[in-house]
Structure 1
């Protein structure tokens, strides 16, 4: 599948916010955490956030990027619920990494994923990400365990 990246618009944000995942992945529904929802929908926070479209122009996901002082690019991402679990994850993540390399030129990529999400962890490992540490994070009205994973640019 080929992907096209476009800076966030209000239509993109509205569409993404309406996505609903089946349990247990409903944890990732934007409406699950009012604080995250407020940050996501605020246009002041749309720098470095991109909607992703397939070749037919359908919105299939999004990526967010945050370059820290140490040249590590923190990646956030989401894929349309109808596409998850259907073998599209690896090509989607690889497209995001390719885009990020061209736009940001980081030394290292980093992401965090809920530890229960073995499906996503498997995709990230297939792309070359390596587990680094687990940590607890407050979100969605509770405290959940996350796994930080990194990928050296030289490996990708």
Structure 2
């Protein structure tokens, strides 16, 4: 992911209830040096997803959780969400994760209410394997862990 894509992603505005997936403004994210505001993390963990016209469609974080697991964080451009192409988007991200980490399990976490994302992940080959609650910036929330079935 390059800085231009990172800056663009920070400007994305999601409609409620998906607005929880928005980012801080780029200048703040960069100043704090967190997530893709940290050049090292951006280079090692984040990838931009572009279409064949080189238009930014979204991003992914490929985060090594342990030696045998890589966890995906996925974000699609707001105007592309809900159009029925999420499974293709997820598929492209999975292929990159498999290329980089061929021997690791691939998983992700998703809020249990986000049925739109869950359907895309299921169509993309993921299965719900666990349910739990964890702390978020807005309090404790219920999550599913979903694992890619190779």
Aligned CA RMSD, in angstroms, stands at 2.2
Provide the C-alpha distance between the structure 2 equivalents of 1:60 and 1:145, rounded to a whole number of angstroms: 27
The answer on whether the counterparts of 1:113 and 1:148 sit within 8 Å (CA) in structure 2 is yes
Check if 1:25 corresponds to 2:22: no
Match of 2:134 in 1: 137
* Aligned partners of 1:68 and 1:74 also within 8 Å: yes
What residue in structure 1 maps to residue 39 of structure 2? Answer: 43
Which of 82, 89, 92 is equivalent to 1:92? 89
Contact 1:67/1:106 (8 A) holds in 2: no
Residue 11 of structure 1 corresponds to 4
Q: Structure 2 unaligned runs (5+)?
A: none
Output aligned runs, 1:31-110, within 5 Å: 31=24, 38-46=34-42, 47-110=44-107
The TM-score normalised by the length of structure 2 is 0.86
Please say if residues 27 and 140 of structure 1, whose CA atoms lie closer than 8 Å, have aligned partners that are also in contact. Answer: no
Distance 1:70 1:105 in 2: 12
TM-score between both structures, scaled by the size of structure 1: 0.83
Deviation at 1:68, TM superposition (A): 3.7
Aligned length: 145
Q: After alignment, is 84-93 or 124-133 more displaced?
A: 124-133
